Each structure stands twice: as structure tokens, then as C-alpha cells.
Amino acid sequence: MTTHSTATIWLLIGVTAAGTWLIRISFIALLGRVSVFPDLAMRVLRMIPAAVLAALIGPSLTQAEGAFDLGTERFLAGLLAGLVAWRTRNVLATIGVGMGGLWLLQAVG
């Protein structure tokens, strides 16, 4: 649970919503004023989802209980889910196997 106040969270939601919409409309609105999308910017943008998602996943699996530990139930279940995601590219199967794996490991451990 957060200690951020309700007002702060509203501000976070509002700024993120406005910023996201501005990013979305950016080039649609600018057409005619900006003719080409810079090549380097395109290459940077293409890397963002993979880099950010992996960075979000890293600590939640390897430091699931605080300290770095590759023996936790969450790391093993996450590894299993990663295998399923890689082989099937299926969101439902990935969540199902990951949660099922975690519950199984928790029941055994």
C-alpha cells in the first residue's frame, strides 16, 4: 500500500494521461511541419519496449524477497513463465503457468 496522498495520485494520473495523449498525437498533429522522422530517434524508440519491460521484470524476479536470490519461488516460477512466453507467445498461458507454478512451489515449500 502506498503512502502517497489521494491528491498526489490524482496528479500522477493526470500528468501521465496528458503526457501520454501528447505523445500519441505528436506526429499526427505535426504532419506537414515535420517531414521526416529522424532515423536515430526511430532506432531508439524501437528498443524501448524490450528494454523497459526487461528492466521492470529483473528485480521483481531476482530480488523477490529483498536480497538478490535465484532460489526463490518467484524466480523459478518466473523462469517457467518466460519459457512458456518464449515458446507460445501466449499471454494467457504465460500468466496461467507462472501463477500455477508459484502456487505449486509455495504448496511444496
Partner 1 sequence: MSPRPPARPSIAGIVDIAPILIGVVPFGIIAGIAAVEAGLGTFQAYAVSPLVFAGAAQLAMTDLISRDAAAIVVVATALVINSRFAMYSASLAPTFGRVGAMRKAVAAYLLTDQAFAVSVVRFDRVDEPISARYAYYLGAGMALWVTWLVSSAVGVVVGAGVPAEWSLDFAIPLVFIALLFAAVNDRGTGIAAVAGFVAAVAFAGLPLNLGLLVASGVGIAAGVVGQRR
Residues numbered 74 to 93 that lie near partner 1 (CB under 8 A) are 74, 77-78, 81-82, 85-86, 89-92
In the region spanning residues 28 to 57, those forming contacts with partner 1, defined by CB under 8 A, are 28-32, 37, 40-57
Q: Name 34's bridge partners.
A: 31
Q: In whole angstroms, how close is the CB of 78 to partner 1 at the nearest point?
A: 6
**With binding defined as CB under 8 A, does residue 100 bind partner 1?**
no
- CB 80, CB 98: distance < 8 Å: yes
Smallest gap, in angstroms, from Cβ of residue 84 to partner 1?
A: 9
Q: Does 103 interact with partner 1 (rule: CB under 8 A)?
A: yes
C-alpha to C-alpha distance for 64 and 28, rounded to whole angstroms: 41
Closest CA to 105 of 85, 68, 66, 78: 78
Q: How far is the CB of 79 from partner 1 (least distance, A)?
A: 10
Taking CB under 8 A as the rule, does residue 71 contact partner 1? no
CA distance 93 to 96: 5
CB of 74 to partner 1, least distance (A): 6
Q: Does 8 bind partner 1 (CB under 8 A)?
A: yes
Distance CA 95, CA 84 (A): 9
Report the alpha-carbon distance of residue 95 to residue 109 in Å, rounded: 21
